[in-house]
Structure 1
Amino acid sequence: MQGLPGGGGARFWLALLLLLQPRVGSGACPCQDPSLCNPISGSRDFEVFVFDLGGKNWMFYDWSQITTVAAFGKYDPELMCHAHSKGSRVVMKGNTSVKKIVKSAVRAAWISQQMKLAKEQYMDGININIEEEVSKDSDEYFALTALVKETTGVFHKEIPGSQVTFDVPWSPECIDSKCYNYSGIADSCDFLFVMSYDEPSQLWSKCTVTGTAPYNQTLTGYDDYLHLGISPKKLVMGVPWYGYDYLCLYFSEGHICHFANVPFRGAQCRFSAGHQIPYRIIMARAIHSISGIQWDEEQGVPHFEYKDPQGTIHQVWFDDPRSISLKATYVKERGLRGIGMWNGNCLDYSGRPIAHEQSKAMWKALKPL
């Protein structure tokens, strides 16, 4: 087995020991009940993992389901206190350049910095979100696995009951040149959050519209992870609470929408040439649809068409309660760790009756039938 870059484990732990001494202290508890600053321990049978981008939308989330919130927005102590009152973890975002972590001392410094911040903010762990290109068996390949393992070891020791997770593409097949050691990373943390969206990122033939998370393609990705020997209990399915709005240049047989060429990593065009929009905007535009919401049987996702003020036809493809329920059923049948979404802020929490029902249905869809 190839050793870790930068001098191996012994030098890493020595560097980290020096960085963590003296023990980092936490700030004053911001909760009215000081016990809410204690870390959440234990785990539930089914994980519902929510990404939150900031603001106060979290006040309207379905807290009866949520097990973990990944706080990707500005730190909000009210969110932490509220989540803890519901028995839910709040974890911080962790991000760094893979080129910087080849040396063990740099990894140790980064982990120490994250730990200090986690303690100051009374976080329950960290969600590592690194989406850079990595070549198989490169220094970065081994360093990334080492970073996850070392981070997990330190967090579990310093914050009892803490959770360390890592975000991965929809498939382990070197998607967008992300050739990570997926089985090694899975072994090194609590679980993987699989970003099962933006799947057809490179289009090699025609620039035609498709869903961001087609049902069969999504399940193929999980089959690939499981074939690597990764336990289903190490996989949380991510689903999109957003879609894409495409301006159609013309239509071919079958009313297939063709959009503008935007070359991407050698491919003729990229899937994200459309405009990404959250579910709340999608539902607002659906009211003015000229087609009604249509269901694509092959992909297992909905879509519709509308005309903009200039008279140009757009197609909007997205996931809704029906398509998400299908995937949630797979999660249950295959015994995956759970489900989650990008992101919790995408729904309409305005309180309008129709918006309330639409948002309620999206949350309900996360529960496997």
Structure 2
Amino acid sequence: MCYAHSKGARVVLKGDVSVKDIIDPTFRESWITQKLVLAKNQYMDGINIDIEQEVNCSSPEYDALTALVKETTEAFHHEIEGSQVTFDVAWSPKYIDRRCYNYTGIANACDFVFVMSYDEQSQIWSDCVAAANAPYNQTLTGYEDYIKMDIHPKKLVMGVPWYGYDYTCLNLSEDDVCTIAKVPFRGAPCSDAAGRQVPYKVIMKQVNSSVSGSQWNKDQQAPYYNYKDSSGHFHQVWYDNPQSISLKAAYVQKRGLRGIGMWNANSLDYSGDAEARQQTEEMWKVLKPDLGQRRLSFL
């Protein structure tokens, strides 16, 4: 925390709480007070509220969640000068994973929302096949939908994944369509739960020894590769790299969003290996393309 502050960076708490509990105003007040005490004692700069629970549109939790964000923001701003209160939202406002939130009210109530533009296959309604974690067109549609709800672009921060999904293929066709097991999630017949999350540093160590090498899907604007495990089963791994992230970062600038972030920084390789160091630098650089260009001009 002290090191981050020495670099001018903010460090915030992560806040999660049962939506059933926050219906009670007294409970909300107590929860906020506890978080404030913790933030002050640890010299933190605010809180990021990360609640990814199901909420019904007509339920009391719908209004209670907006109230929690508003009351948390007011309390933190009052008690900690210059503090920041943010809220994590799904990649789209279209009730992803049965999350019906008052997105406009929440965005207006806090400093900004962090859009989790990943795990976009958490509900697969079409064919049960492996696909990109954050397909380009699908990702951008989510932001346009938020903006159509009168949420100002400067209230939106794009979150990109520094991890991918490893799917075991029930069948891998000649044109690289990987059929996956049917694992239901919140109403959908299939989901990315059929695969497992893999950090970028692991992907980079595996891709060159895969049977396909890195491939590029033009429709989803994302890389993938195929490999065979020790049991002889084919796997397909979808991930994001500097190429796919740069396309999204360009949209952030063009559309005037507040910024871009990632989940999560520990997914990269910070060892002394020269190749790993270059890969890590490229992933950081792509989040700030202007800074990257200035750096290159000085070399």
Task: Quickly name the TM-score band, shorter chain normalised.
Answer: over 0.9
Deviation by residue 1:35-90 (Cα, 9 ceiling, x = unmatched): xxxxxxxxxxxxxxxxxxxxxxxxxxxxxxxxxxxxxxxxxxxxx10010001100
Moved over 3 A (4+): none
Paired amino acid for 1:268:
P
Structure 1 residue 143 corresponds to structure 2 residue 49 = no
Structure 1 residue 314 corresponds to structure 2 residue 231 = no
Q: Is the 8 A contact 1:331 1:368 kept in 2?
A: no
Structure 1 residue 324 corresponds to structure 2 residue 245 = yes
- The RMSD of aligned alpha carbons is 1.0
Give the paired residue count. 290
For structure 2, the residue ranges without an aligned partner over 5 or more in a row are: 291-299
Given candidates 20, 32, 50, the residue that maps to 1:99 is 20
Given candidates 169, 181, 185, the residue that maps to 1:264 is 185
Given candidates 237, 240, 245, the residue that maps to 2:161 is 240
Which residue of the partner structure matches residue 133 of structure 2? Answer: 212
Structure 1 residue 227 corresponds to structure 2 residue 148 = yes
Aligned mates of 2:252, 2:195 — CA distance in 1: 29
For structure 1, the residue ranges without an aligned partner over 5 or more in a row are: 1-79
Q: Is the 8 A contact 1:148 1:185 kept in 2?
A: yes
Structure 1 residue 352 corresponds to structure 2 residue 273 = yes
Comparing 285-294 with 327-336, greater Cα deviation is found at 285-294
- The residue matched to 1:165 in structure 2 has which SS? strand
Residue 253 of structure 1: how far off its partner (Å): 5.5
Given candidates 109, 113, 116, the residue that maps to 1:192 is 113
Aligned mates of 1:234, 1:245 — CA distance in 2: 33
Paired amino acid for 1:188:
A
Paired amino acid for 2:218:
E
Aligned mates of 1:233, 1:203 — CA distance in 2: 30
Q: Is the 8 A contact 2:208 2:214 kept in 1?
A: no
Structure 1 residue 284 corresponds to structure 2 residue 239 = no
Residue 249 of structure 1: how far off its partner (Å): 1.3
Counting aligned pairs with the same residue, the percent is 63
Paired amino acid for 1:324:
I
Aligned mates of 1:81, 1:304 — CA distance in 2: 40
- The residue matched to 2:11 in structure 1 has which SS? strand
Aligned mates of 2:31, 2:189 — CA distance in 1: 38
Given candidates 84, 90, 97, the residue that maps to 1:176 is 97
Paired amino acid for 2:36:
M
Q: Is the 8 A contact 1:244 1:272 kept in 2?
A: no
Task: Give matches, 1:1-20, under 5 Å.
Answer: none
Residue 137 of structure 1: how far off its partner (Å): 3.6
Deviation by residue 1:88-108 (Cα, 9 ceiling, x = unmatched): 100011110111011111100
- The residue matched to 1:269 in structure 2 has which SS? coil
Comparing 230-239 with 283-292, greater Cα deviation is found at 283-292
Aligned mates of 1:220, 1:135 — CA distance in 2: 23
Paired amino acid for 2:10:
R
- The residue matched to 1:203 in structure 2 has which SS? coil
Paired amino acid for 1:290:
V
- The residue matched to 2:20 in structure 1 has which SS? helix
Which residue of the partner structure matches residue 134 of structure 1? Answer: 55
Given candidates 253, 260, 263, the residue that maps to 1:342 is 263
Paired amino acid for 1:201:
S
Paired amino acid for 1:193:
F
Q: Is the 8 A contact 2:172 2:234 kept in 1?
A: no
Q: Which has the higher contact order (CA 8 A, sep 6+)?
A: 1
- The residue matched to 2:209 in structure 1 has which SS? coil
Residue 367 of structure 1: how far off its partner (Å): 1.5
Which residue of the partner structure matches residue 285 of structure 2? Answer: 364
Which residue of the partner structure matches residue 37 of structure 2? Answer: 116
Residue 268 of structure 1: how far off its partner (Å): 2.2
Aligned mates of 2:62, 2:187 — CA distance in 1: 23
Aligned mates of 1:232, 1:338 — CA distance in 2: 9
- Normalised by the length of structure 1, the TM-score is 0.77
Aligned mates of 2:74, 2:126 — CA distance in 1: 45
